[in-house]
Amino acid sequence: MKISKKVLALMLACLLVFGALVGCADNGGASSAAGTPPAGSVAAGGDVDDSLVNTELSGEITQWVWGDYEIRGAVDFNKYYPNIKVNYVSVPSDEYEQKILTALATGTDLPDVVNIESAARGQFNNMDVWERLDAAPYNLDTSKVLPIGIPLMSNEKGEIVCVQVDNCVAGYAYDRELAIKYFGTDDPAEMEKIFSDLDSFVEKSKAVGEAGEDYMFASVDDAYSAVSGLYQKDPVVVDGKLNTDKSVLPTYEFIEKLVANKAVGPYVEWTPAWYTSFASNNIIFYRAPAWFISFMMKPNDPDSVGKWGMMTPPGGGFNAGGTAYAIPKGAKEENKELAWAYIQWLTLSQEGAESFYNAHATSTLYAPAYDTDLYKGEPDPFFKEQNVTEKLNEIAADPRTTASIMTAYDFVMKNANAQALRDLEAGMSAQQAYAKFKTEVLAAATDLSE
């Protein structure tokens, strides 16, 4: 009896160790897919042009995904590549970059396809851990990508290391009722004439502020998001020096004037209160790429019909957000060709563009698709029957529309900017806020100089 007790205790002890180790292995690897795991793989089916079907490539690849966005976007992939199975592993978006870094640091298995979200793109693109896609064996044809996409996919050497999936060119969504109230019209063409430059925003904001009921933008953050892309035409870092005098400073000056006119709302961007601002009927403008309409405006203002309009920002559009796919250098060699087939199909083919557009009402950056009827769009009741797809693509085709060049210092600047915006909101001058911004950036990025 004594022996059996000891054996039992020993077994329990072993079980404890085993349990702990198994638990740790699960936590360490992204394959644990905490939360709700998505479907395992996409099934083939449906009629397709046989000449486009590739049965030679076969195998299994893995992509870490945030949810079902990626899966739904590529739902037709297996119709064209029936022998490539894509295993989607769910990784929470707020842990995604950290898990990639952990996998890189520890040398554990990386997925074959990695998502790089726009906020992390500047740093991730410059990490020298991704396959170069515009060189052999991938040979990405840049002429097939909308020009605005190239800076979003490149590292500081100009090498393409990822492919952005979605076209995130932003227009200005505006509240039609408030537009009539303050500007006398809700017609997009008329609005574009009234707001032909940013000075006109400042001028018109006086009446909005004086009324004391409504705001031009929901917050200083929204004002920044709406304007920074218009000013940011040059890289923010050149030869190790900050180059923000012509981008960040004028953006702050614009915000300073709006704050002085009391035309900026108190909804801090991405806070729970901010999500309610869409239905509050007191905010006139939001900068709005396609994803913003699908994931922010419509879900948070579900009862509105005909409330919104879409116009071109003064000076053309700009990129706002987006997700890119990359192939890690450390991925399994035999899977890289399959991963590239998957990425290429989704982002650089008409079929991928159709699949993605049908799932998300968002265009990819595949240029030839814009010469077809795919993106002709249709009247949207949410926008008073305005064809928003057509409008956004018109903005994307505007030669003035640009995308900011991403740098490894984007996170540092984002952090310093968040504080500067709070200071501007509290009444600090643009010059002071900008000086503080630079000090913060230089303190955090010690290898930069003024």
Partner 1 sequence: MRRQKTAPYLFALPYFLIFLAFSVFPILFSGFISLNDWKGYNEPTFIGLQNYIEVFGDPRFYKALGNTLLLMVMIIPFQLVLGFLLALFLNSKYMKLKKTFRLLNFLPYLTTPIALGVIFALLFDPAFGTVNQVLEWFGINAINWTKEVWPARALVSMVTVWRYTGYTAVLFMAGITNINTDIYEASEIDGASSWQRTFRITLPLLKPVTTFVVLSTMIGCFQIFEEPFMIFNVAGKLVGGPNNSVLTGIWLFYDTAFSNQFRNGYAAAIAVCLFAVIAVISFVANKLMSGKEDG
Give me the residues that bind partner 1 (CB under 8 A), please: 6, 9-10, 13-14, 16-17, 20, 24, 97-98, 101-102, 104-105, 123, 127-129, 221, 266-273, 276, 408-409, 411-412, 414-415, 418-419, 422, 425-426, 443-446
Nearer of residues 103 and 179 to partner 1, judged by Cβ:
103
How near is the Cβ of 225 to partner 1 at its closest, in Å? 12
How near is the Cβ of 389 to partner 1 at its closest, in Å? 30
Contacts for 209 with CB less than 8 Å, ≥ 6 apart: 261, 262, 263
Contacts for 336 with CB less than 8 Å, ≥ 6 apart: 112, 131, 327
Nearer of residues 270 and 295 to partner 1, judged by Cβ:
270
Q: Give the Cβ contact number of residue 93 at 10 Å.
A: 13
By CB atoms closer than 10 A (0-12, 13-18, 19+), residue 6 is exposed
* DSSP 8-state secondary structure symbol assigned to residue 278: G
Q: Residue 111 in contact with residue 332, Cβ under 8 Å?
A: no
How near is the Cβ of 165 to partner 1 at its closest, in Å? 23
How near is the Cβ of 37 to partner 1 at its closest, in Å? 19
Q: Give the Cβ contact number of residue 138 at 10 Å.
A: 19
Nearer of residues 36 and 446 to partner 1, judged by Cβ:
446
Cα dist from 200 to 240, 244, 284, 285, whole Å: 35, 23, 14, 14
Strand ranges in 298-339 using DSSP code E only, listed in sequence order: 308-311, 318-319, 323-326
Nearer of residues 57 and 127 to partner 1, judged by Cβ:
127
Give 163's strand partners: 325
d(CA 169, CA 324): 14
Sign, CA torsion 171/176/181/187: positive
How near is the Cβ of 331 to partner 1 at its closest, in Å? 14
Q: 411-439 burial, b for 16+ CB within 10 Å, e for fewer?
A: bbbeebbeebbebbbeebebeebbeebbe
How near is the Cβ of 27 to partner 1 at its closest, in Å? 11
How near is the Cβ of 184 to partner 1 at its closest, in Å? 30
Nearer of residues 218 and 346 to partner 1, judged by Cβ:
218
How near is the Cβ of 271 to partner 1 at its closest, in Å? 6
Contacts for 197 with CB less than 8 Å, ≥ 6 apart: 314, 315
Place of tokens 């009629």: 47
How near is the Cβ of 285 to partner 1 at its closest, in Å? 19
Nearer of residues 361 and 444 to partner 1, judged by Cβ:
444
Nearer of residues 37 and 266 to partner 1, judged by Cβ:
266
d(CA 397, CA 440): 37
d(CA 45, CA 80): 9
Give 145's strand partners: 366
Nearer of residues 266 and 381 to partner 1, judged by Cβ:
266
Nearer of residues 112 and 351 to partner 1, judged by Cβ:
112
Nearer of residues 16 and 305 to partner 1, judged by Cβ:
16
Nearer of residues 102 and 304 to partner 1, judged by Cβ:
102
How near is the Cβ of 6 to partner 1 at its closest, in Å? 7
d(CA 366, CA 199): 35
At CA 45, angle to CA 72 and CA 366, rounded to 5? 50
* Strand pairing class (283-288; 215-217): parallel
How near is the Cβ of 24 to partner 1 at its closest, in Å? 7
How near is the Cβ of 148 to partner 1 at its closest, in Å? 26
Cα dist from 403 to 6, 48, 149, 180, whole Å: 69, 35, 7, 31
Nearer of residues 129 and 361 to partner 1, judged by Cβ:
129
Identify which of 408, 341, 335, 367 has the alpha carbon closest to the alpha carbon of residue 128. 408
Identify which of 369, 248, 298 has the alpha carbon closest to the alpha carbon of residue 286. 298
